[in-house]
Structure 1
Amino acid sequence: MDYIGEHLLPGQLGHFLVILSLVASIVACIAYFKSANAKLPDEAVSWRKIGRIAFITDALSVITIFGIILFIIVQHYYEYYYAYNHSDRSLSPKFLLASIWEGQEGSFLLWTLWHGVLGLVLIRTAKKWEAPVMAVISFAQICLATMVLGVYVFDVKIGSTPFLLTRHQFSSAPIFSNADYLASLKDGVGLNQLLQNYWMVIHPPVLFLGFASTIVPFAFAVAGLWKKEYGSWTKQALPWSLFSGGVLGLGIMMGAYWAYESLSFGGYWAWDPVENASLVPWLILVAGIHTQVVYNSTGHSLRATHFFFIASFLLILYSTYLTRSGDLQDTSVHAFTGSGMNWQLRALVFVFLVPSLWLFIARYKKIPHIAKEENSYSREFWMFIGALVLFLSSIFILVATSLPVINKIFGSNFTIGEDPQFPYNRIQVFVAVVLGVLTAVTQYLKYKNTAKTAFFKKIALPTGIALAISLSVSLWGNINYDKFGVGFLAAIHLALFASIYAVVANATYIWSGLKGKLKAAGASIAHVGFGIMLVGVLISSSKKEVLSMNFMNPLNFGPDQKEKGVENLTLYQGVRTDMGKYWATYISDSVTEKGKMTYFRIDMESKDGKERFPLYPDLIKNTKGQEGYSNNPDARHYWNKDIFVYINYSTRMQEEKDTAQFRSKLVKLGDTLYYSNGFMTLDSVTVNQPTAGRQVDAGDTSIMAHLSIVTREQKKLTARPILAVKNNEPTYIPDSVFSQGLSVGLARVAENQQFEIRVKESSKMVPFIALKVLQFPFIKLVWLGTVLMVIGFIMSMVYRLRLLRPVGSETASRKKPVAQEPVS
């Protein structure tokens, strides 16, 4: 059948470029492999030229594929399933771009795109390491290209193409029996409402750049083992590992901020499996950076450096399997569901795992190793201990995160307990203690050996300052988090000291150890940021306060009664409610076009009357995946705290019709009517009284009844129903008393000065919400620390790049730095 209106050329070109990308990456991998193993220089150069041409072709193909997909989405070509499933006409340009990486195919392409960009930089900068390093990266491009291939080989599907036609996806649907089916396919499914956030535009590209960049230190480590030049790559690779550590760390914390701003699990980190899957490779990567610096300075820890960089990239691949296989969809709030690509995801892990670990094990004894143990008063000794602590911490997180996979493989039923966070926190709080102290003291040690007297003299001042500050915080900071006992509370205070110690000691070292030379202070600044971030995490988490405690009328949420009932305040619309430190009033709500989002206005007023501010949390109607609503929080930001609110329940989520009926009664002035929660009295009736915009036109005759309402709790309310007459046609304008579930109407004026009052009671007409309000003290320290840490990584990378420049260059001929930048 010839279908009308289809635009098949972009898809055909896209398919061709996917195949070209695959073929080019295969050619590049073979050519670079040949170049790396060539015996003659001319042969190596010849193969390297072929490898460069092929890799550039691959990179340009991927960039063009990305552009074609964007073109298809922007043009709303819904004949393509990817555009139909991930976009719609209502999306703004930035969300049309972001819809590319909502799906698995687009995210794999984003990853491949970054590999291409990094490879192009390496072609210009890797020098003698270009061939072996680019062979590894080209092999990764082969694997990723198969993920978007979308072909069948003997009934086995390889990859999933973003250029699949909608009529092929739903081949049996009756609509596609019509040649003009596109006339009926007016719009797409759209981007998930939860993802329509500006963080969706910027967070995934940064995070995937971090993922992609881990292959560079991995490739250098493998190249060193392959070429049996075990240590000569480490200095050239150090700027790359610093770049990867900074970008991946930034991507992780951008996700944490997105979660804090737009998700409702009550903070920025919940030890969610998908969060952990990105954190573990970063921890091991940072461990590798520290041992890499140790080797460059002393010759120690080269074996550990190889292992950490290999493990970091392998764990990136494993985290990809965890988040995309569907194995975590029952334990993670933002894991992909199963995609039918599980065998490929497993293969992706094993094709790198087996050869890289085999190469490491086979060459292990040949990797240079200094038999003499490090002096316990040497910098390298404690840097290695810190790296080991990072590694052990990551192993614990990895095992706990992988329990669903372990249970699936072995049929076991291991769990981390009812509380999903405490099992992690009780271990990691001691990790924070050790890392904080090591970060503080290690840089005051020299490589090889340090005079004890000089060391203690230098460390005495920052130690005293840190003790004074931490004791002040512990004594007067009201940190009394005793939910898990006095032991855990003591650990929090100990971790606070260690974190403050890291900040003070590193800040002091910039001036005492580096003489204020900021160019060489990247590591110290990164450590200051790390310490500040830890202080922010500890204070904001241990002093997190629930402001919305509700002991008067908690909703019944079953087993989660305390979490969802007692810690949620029930607010009826228009009713000012006591919330302890604040008054809270549910003012109004509004629904966006197509009913996808409902915004709520909540007015907060402090008890002392000094401040009043509105907050606008919202509920998002899920349009893809699970049914129902998701909540999107709002926050009020102060320099020393955030007030964080989200809605757990609203009557707007109910879609059932109101079946309650009005009941009528004839009354005279002064008569009383009873309802289930009190009574009302007809006080007076006025004619043509101004109605404050209550739908009465000028010139209409209007009669307003004034009723006083007294509730069972002796609260006094009013109702003002109106009967308007225009051209002898009556219009009834009832008044609603939402807090009582009442609708009161004036039906007619009867004989003997009687009035017919109509009353309806209904729970459906009482708009209310269940609101949770949290206060996070000093949450900004978390974000400030993150920014400083990333700045420190960047400064360190720039500093190391300068050291790599040949002697005699313009920059190198200037005055050399006095102190070498430490990383501890």
Structure 2
Amino acid sequence: MHYNGEHLLPGQIGHFFSILSLVASLLATIAYFKAARMNDLLPDRKGWIKLARTAFFVETISVLGVFFSLYYIIYNHYFEYFYAWNHSSRSLQFKYILSCFWEGSEGSFLLWSFWHCVLGWILIKTSKTWEAGVMTVISFAQFCLASMLIGIYFFGYKVGSNPFILWRQQMPDIPIFSDPNYLQLPRIAEGNDLNTLLQNYWMVIHPPVLFLGFASTIVPFAYAIAGLFKKDHTWIKTSIPWAAFSGAILGTGIMMGAAWAYESLSFGGYWAWDPVENASLVPWIVMIAGLHTNLIYKSTGYSLRTTYLFYILSFVLVLYSTFLTRSGILGDTSVHAFTDLGMNVQLLLFVLVFFIPAILLFIWRYKNIPALHKEENTNSREFWMFIGSLVLFLSAIIIAAKTSVPVYNKMFGTNIAPPEDPEFSFNQVQIFILIIIGILTAVTQYFKYKSSPQGYFSKNIVWPTVASLIVGSAICIWGNIHYNKQGIGFLVAIYVGVYAAIYAIIANAAYIWLVLKGKLKVAGASVAHVGFGMILLGVLISSSKKEVLSWNTTGIAVFKKDKKEDPAENITLFKGVATDMGKYMVTYVKDTFNTVDRKRYYEIDFKAKNGNEHFKVYPDIIKNNKGMEGFSPNPDSKHYWNRDIFVYISSFQQNDQPDTATFRNIGIKPGDTTFYSNGILILNKVQVNPEAQKDKFKNGETALFLDMTAITKDGRRYPLTPGIVLNNNELTNYPDTVKAQSLIVKFNKVSNPQDGKLEIGVKESGAITDLVTLKVYEFPMINILWLGVVVMVIGFFMSIYQRIAPQIFSKE
């Protein structure tokens, strides 16, 4: 059958490049492996290197071909392709087109492969005699990634998932494909859209940085494998800038994800120990441990075996995180996880095909790896650096073990339940690791390698220690840290953690001036440690002093308490009604629907009761898609230098339905009381032609307005002034409303002038009430965290420059 409107050529080109990428990467792997086995002086080796480079060039062109073919399809809304339809829509803003790539696993693998190509060419230019061994590993990784995109069946098993498969090939049995004009059907023509959570600018820049971090972990791994294969350990100095680069980029990517969570997820923070967050964090921790043992070996000859192990595990853990996030195994425990593509076996093989050979090679060569058998001096820098590396590794093991519970349950048929409070289950362990790492970060550099002269350490560390104790005490005493949710023991641990973080900051800053004499060219590590200490301090203060501002003062609860939300911590605002919220009077001013991003923005006005503070925030909601019902809230924040006011919508009521409620007529006299569902109505008096209502009647007309009060069950009072205006025989009615009570009262008539009895109409209708329920947090000093990330990354790059600059300038 011929189908109208299909564009088959872009998909055919893209799939061709996918196959070519697979073949070229396999050829590059074989050629590089052949060269790696040869002596550097053999003439044939150059031929194999040349062939391998040519194949890797073809591989690079192929990856770019796949990328641009898929981009072309998504950009032009060719929804005959299932990937384009499933991850984009015609109404999607242009700035989120790239986000459509990495919503699906196939696009993520493509992004990963792209970064391998970039890193590969840098290594070809710089790795010299290590090129063959290192590029064998990278080319083989490219082969594995390419296999994820081909989408063919091999002896009945599906290999990869083809992003260029057509809708009618993906689901051939759907009846709509009997229609040659199926592309004109509204459900197909509009597209399935991008997940609402990904429609954020952070999700345009966060994944590329994160995947560059993931891709970069292969470089120290590849050097380690090449070194084990050749029994040559001279690569160890070359790998230090690469490990620092990986630490900087992967750390930046992780914290970009935290910033995205802070701005897009409504759990009230930037880190929730989500399994996918943990899966990224663990390889970073192990890489940082490996970087430090690498530095130890370079300076003293100790810890080479540990460095090999950490670099191997760091890359393998990246592969394991790929399995966790893309196998669907975390679908019930993470908001970040991808859906199952039916590639679980292939993903697991991706992990094992690197892990098993690497570990076996490490064990085989273990005895040949140089190791000093002399005991390390406890008065030396390397001893405490090694202890710190082991503590980091222990932290990674604990996080990985807790995160892998769904894997245990799946593999062994167990039913290990997650903890009642997942965050605290991590925090109660990691707080003590934070304390140890903070202290070691402060003091370790004050030792010298191999052995410190007597009195050297104490002489230099005394003043940073005194200063840290003073500053830490000031924060703990006057900083109003009163986190008591987990008991006094955990609060004491937080206090100690604050001291440790302050110690890390001050001691490293002092080291730059006291020991390095202000020489910033060699201060990269200390700057990175200052940033790390700031991150620890920012996490402790912003989390332990996080305060709920939105305590419910209205007595109105629009939802029931559950594990995620407590109505006591959510305040309900009625449109146009200023409401008391502790420090602030808060008003839901209005809401506006933006047709471009399809979000409804709520203007919330905050006015401090004391002082001149006055600001507005604009949290929003967007209708869920991808099979999810309801709406997703996107927070907004008011940023100050010392705190953030964080606001998101936990519930809302938008009344666009017709009003079906009717008035209940009641006879009443001045001084009488009548009831409504949430309280009483009192008629105070009748006013004739009142001055306050002058705008409603003209000269010669008679106006009667009722002075009434609505009193709720919890004692709140609302004034009401319904009225009528008489002009000859015509009567105009002016009802009055109490929106916060969904109450409308109108003055019908004077039913009996002799006894002064009046008739009023009372109606209770939700159709008059627009309301929002807000959760509002205050995060004190959260900017210390974000600034700490910037400082730490700057320190990493200073350290990288310090190590590669001599090589660059020596060539010049």
Aligned mates of 1:702, 1:186 — CA distance in 2: 62
Give CA-to-partner distance per residue, 1:471-521, whole Å, 9 cap, x none. 111121121222222222221111111111111111111112222111111
Aligned mates of 2:104, 2:301 — CA distance in 1: 45
Which residue of structure 2 lines up, in the alignment, with residue 480 of structure 1?
482
Aligned mates of 2:716, 2:48 — CA distance in 1: 91
Residue 234 (str. 1) matches residue 236 (str. 2): yes
SS at match of 1:117: helix
The correspondence of residues 375-390 of structure 1 with structure 2, limited to 5 A, is: 375-390=377-392
Instruction: Give the conservation status (yes or no) of the 8 Å contact 1:642–1:775.
Output: yes
Give CA-to-partner distance per residue, 1:317-370, whole Å, 9 cap, x none. 101111111111221122122221111111111111111111111111110001
Return 754-763 or 124-133, whichever deviates more: 754-763
Q: 1:498 aligns with which of 494, 497, 500?
A: 500
Which residue of structure 2 lines up, in the alignment, with residue 396 of structure 1?
398
SS at match of 2:243: helix
Tell me by how many angstroms 1:769 deviates: 2.8
Q: 1:212 aligns with which of 195, 210, 215?
A: 215
Corresponding residue pairs, total: 800
Give CA-to-partner distance per residue, 1:155-181, whole Å, 9 cap, x none. 321111111112222323333222122
Aligned mates of 2:291, 2:129 — CA distance in 1: 22
- Given residue 242 of structure 1, which amino acid in structure 2 is its aligned partner? A
Which residue of structure 1 lines up, in the alignment, with residue 3 of structure 2?
3
- Given residue 10 of structure 1, which amino acid in structure 2 is its aligned partner? P
Which residue of structure 1 lines up, in the alignment, with residue 792 of structure 2?
789
- Given residue 154 of structure 2, which amino acid in structure 1 is its aligned partner? V
Return 612-621 or 125-134, whichever deviates more: 612-621
Give CA-to-partner distance per residue, 1:170-228, whole Å, 9 cap, x none. 32333322212222243111111221110011001100110111111110111100111
Instruction: Give the conservation status (yes or no) of the 8 Å contact 2:330–2:406.
Output: yes
Instruction: Give the conservation status (yes or no) of the 8 Å contact 2:656–2:767.
Output: no
Instruction: Give the conservation status (yes or no) of the 8 Å contact 2:293–2:386.
Output: yes
Q: 2:646 aligns with which of 644, 655, 659?
A: 644
- Given residue 372 of structure 1, which amino acid in structure 2 is its aligned partner? K
Which residue of structure 2 lines up, in the alignment, with residue 99 of structure 1?
100
Aligned mates of 1:730, 1:63 — CA distance in 2: 77
Return 315-324 or 149-158, whichever deviates more: 149-158
Q: Are residues 209 and 605 of structure 1, via their aligned partners in 2, closer, same or farther at CA, if it must alter by over 3 Å?
A: same
Which residue of structure 2 lines up, in the alignment, with residue 529 of structure 1?
531
SS at match of 2:16: helix
Which residue of structure 2 lines up, in the alignment, with residue 114 of structure 1?
115
Aligned mates of 1:264, 1:561 — CA distance in 2: 14
Which residue of structure 1 lines up, in the alignment, with residue 169 of structure 2?
168
Which residue of structure 2 lines up, in the alignment, with residue 323 of structure 1?
325
Give CA-to-partner distance per residue, 1:88-146, whole Å, 9 cap, x none. 12222210121111111111111111111111111111111111111100100111111
Return 184-193 or 408-417, whichever deviates more: 408-417
Tell me by how many angstroms 1:679 deviates: 2.3
Instruction: Give the conservation status (yes or no) of the 8 Å contact 1:480–1:542.
Output: yes
Tell me by how many angstroms 1:266 deviates: 1.5
Q: Are residues 154 and 758 of structure 1, via their aligned partners in 2, closer, same or farther at CA, if it must alter by over 3 Å?
A: farther
Instruction: Give the conservation status (yes or no) of the 8 Å contact 1:377–1:452.
Output: no
Instruction: Give the conservation status (yes or no) of the 8 Å contact 1:724–1:732.
Output: no
- Given residue 221 of structure 2, which amino acid in structure 1 is its aligned partner? F
Which residue of structure 2 lines up, in the alignment, with residue 195 of structure 1?
198
Aligned mates of 2:202, 2:702 — CA distance in 1: 53
SS at match of 1:639: coil
Instruction: Give the conservation status (yes or no) of the 8 Å contact 1:550–1:569.
Output: yes
Q: Are residues 594 and 656 of structure 1, via their aligned partners in 2, closer, same or farther at CA, if it must alter by over 3 Å?
A: farther
Give CA-to-partner distance per residue, 1:620-641, whole Å, 9 cap, x none. 2211142222221111111111
Which residue of structure 2 lines up, in the alignment, with residue 767 of structure 1?
770
Residue 555 (str. 1) matches residue 557 (str. 2): yes
Q: Are residues 453 and 158 of structure 1, via their aligned partners in 2, closer, same or farther at CA, if it must alter by over 3 Å?
A: same
Q: Are residues 42 and 648 of structure 1, via their aligned partners in 2, closer, same or farther at CA, if it must alter by over 3 Å?
A: same
- Given residue 45 of structure 2, which amino acid in structure 1 is its aligned partner? A
Give CA-to-partner distance per residue, 1:772-792, whole Å, 9 cap, x none. 111111000000100000011
SS at match of 2:603: strand
Aligned mates of 2:748, 2:38 — CA distance in 1: 98
- Given residue 289 of structure 1, which amino acid in structure 2 is its aligned partner? L
Instruction: Give the conservation status (yes or no) of the 8 Å contact 2:724–2:731.
Output: no
Q: Are residues 194 and 707 of structure 1, via their aligned partners in 2, closer, same or farther at CA, if it must alter by over 3 Å?
A: farther
- Given residue 598 of structure 1, which amino acid in structure 2 is its aligned partner? R
| Structure 1 gap ranges (5+) | 811-824
- Given residue 589 of structure 1, which amino acid in structure 2 is its aligned partner? D
What is the aligned-residue RMSD (CA, Å)?
Answer: 3.1
Give CA-to-partner distance per residue, 1:703-739, whole Å, 9 cap, x none. 99776443333613236689999xx999999654311
Which residue of structure 1 lines up, in the alignment, with residue 81 of structure 2?
80
TM-score in terms of structure 1 length? 0.91
Q: Are residues 13 and 755 of structure 1, via their aligned partners in 2, closer, same or farther at CA, if it must alter by over 3 Å?
A: farther
Residue 186 (str. 1) matches residue 189 (str. 2): yes
Instruction: Give the conservation status (yes or no) of the 8 Å contact 1:741–1:766.
Output: yes
Aligned mates of 1:639, 1:283 — CA distance in 2: 30
The correspondence of residues 670-749 of structure 1 with structure 2, limited to 5 A, is: 675-676=676-677, 677-679=679-681, 683=686, 708-712=708-712, 713=715, 715-718=717-720, 736-744=737-745
Aligned mates of 2:748, 2:43 — CA distance in 1: 101
Instruction: Give the conservation status (yes or no) of the 8 Å contact 1:292–1:302.
Output: yes
The correspondence of residues 588-603 of structure 1 with structure 2, limited to 5 A, is: 588-593=590-595, 596-603=598-605
Q: Are residues 561 and 215 of structure 1, via their aligned partners in 2, closer, same or farther at CA, if it must alter by over 3 Å?
A: closer
Give CA-to-partner distance per residue, 1:669-703, whole Å, 9 cap, x none. 9998753333265956989x9999x9x9xxxx999
- Given residue 93 of structure 1, which amino acid in structure 2 is its aligned partner? F
Which residue of structure 1 lines up, in the alignment, with residue 150 of structure 2?
149
Q: Are residues 292 and 480 of structure 1, via their aligned partners in 2, closer, same or farther at CA, if it must alter by over 3 Å?
A: same
| Structure 2 gap ranges (5+) | none
Aligned mates of 2:22, 2:716 — CA distance in 1: 77
Instruction: Give the conservation status (yes or no) of the 8 Å contact 1:585–1:604.
Output: yes
Aligned mates of 1:46, 1:637 — CA distance in 2: 60
Instruction: Give the conservation status (yes or no) of the 8 Å contact 2:688–2:705.
Output: yes
Aligned mates of 2:693, 2:47 — CA distance in 1: 92
Instruction: Give the conservation status (yes or no) of the 8 Å contact 1:669–1:684.
Output: no
Aligned mates of 2:689, 2:65 — CA distance in 1: 74
Aligned mates of 2:324, 2:489 — CA distance in 1: 34
Q: Are residues 389 and 672 of structure 1, via their aligned partners in 2, closer, same or farther at CA, if it must alter by over 3 Å?
A: closer
Tell me by how many angstroms 1:751 deviates: 12
Instruction: Give the conservation status (yes or no) of the 8 Å contact 1:379–1:445.
Output: yes
Aligned mates of 2:680, 2:411 — CA distance in 1: 62
Return 10-19 or 99-108, whichever deviates more: 99-108
Q: Are residues 365 and 708 of structure 1, via their aligned partners in 2, closer, same or farther at CA, if it must alter by over 3 Å?
A: same
Q: Are residues 34 and 186 of structure 1, via their aligned partners in 2, closer, same or farther at CA, if it must alter by over 3 Å?
A: same
- Given residue 435 of structure 1, which amino acid in structure 2 is its aligned partner? I
Aligned mates of 2:804, 2:112 — CA distance in 1: 25
Instruction: Give the conservation status (yes or no) of the 8 Å contact 2:93–2:597.
Output: no
SS at match of 1:776: strand
Which residue of structure 1 lines up, in the alignment, with residue 353 of structure 2?
351
Return 425-434 or 597-606, whichever deviates more: 597-606
SS at match of 1:590: strand
Tell me by how many angstroms 1:600 deviates: 1.9
- Percent identity between matched residues is 55
Return 769-778 or 294-303, whichever deviates more: 769-778
Aligned mates of 1:182, 1:541 — CA distance in 2: 51
Instruction: Give the conservation status (yes or no) of the 8 Å contact 2:275–2:334.
Output: yes
Aligned mates of 1:763, 1:742 — CA distance in 2: 8
Q: Are residues 675 and 71 of structure 1, via their aligned partners in 2, closer, same or farther at CA, if it must alter by over 3 Å?
A: same
Which residue of structure 2 lines up, in the alignment, with residue 18 of structure 1?
18
SS at match of 1:471: helix
Tell me by how many angstroms 1:421 deviates: 1.0
Aligned mates of 1:337, 1:562 — CA distance in 2: 23
Residue 622 (str. 1) matches residue 629 (str. 2): no
Give CA-to-partner distance per residue, 1:615-658, whole Å, 9 cap, x none. 22222221114222222111111111111111222224x99876
- Given residue 22 of structure 1, which amino acid in structure 2 is its aligned partner? L
